[in-house]
Amino acid sequence: MTPSSDILIGRRAPVGGLDTIVIGKAGDDGYISYVHVGESNPVQLTAPAQPGEYELRYRFGDHTYVSTRAIRVQ
């Protein structure tokens, strides 16, 4: 994926009202951007502007991460 490109993420299952998908730097607990999953289907995030290794993470409303997928911005 290229820097600052749009990422569309769809879902098939119901979600909690405060669930989010976040993008964070690989190996870092913080996040760069996020979107509430209940806002639409699919939801849209923007890839980080800087090339590097990142993760897409699904986070429940209680801030528990339940799924992670590695992504590369180049």
| CATH code: domain of residue 68 | 2.60.40.10
Peptide bond just before 3 cis, omega within 30 deg: no
C-alpha 15/C-alpha 29 separation (Å) is 22
Q: Which domain holds residue 41?
A: 6-73
Examine residue 1 and state whether it is found in any structural domain, yes or no.
Answer: no
* pLDDT at site 58: 92
Total number of domains in the chain: 1
Contact 55, 73 (CB under 8 A): no
Amino acid at 63: H
* pLDDT at site 38: 83
**The whole model's pTM is what?**
0.85
CA angle 8, 13, 17 (to 5 degrees): 80
Query: pLDDT tens digit string along 1-47?
Result: 899 999 999 888 777 788 999 999 998 989 999 999 986 889 999 99
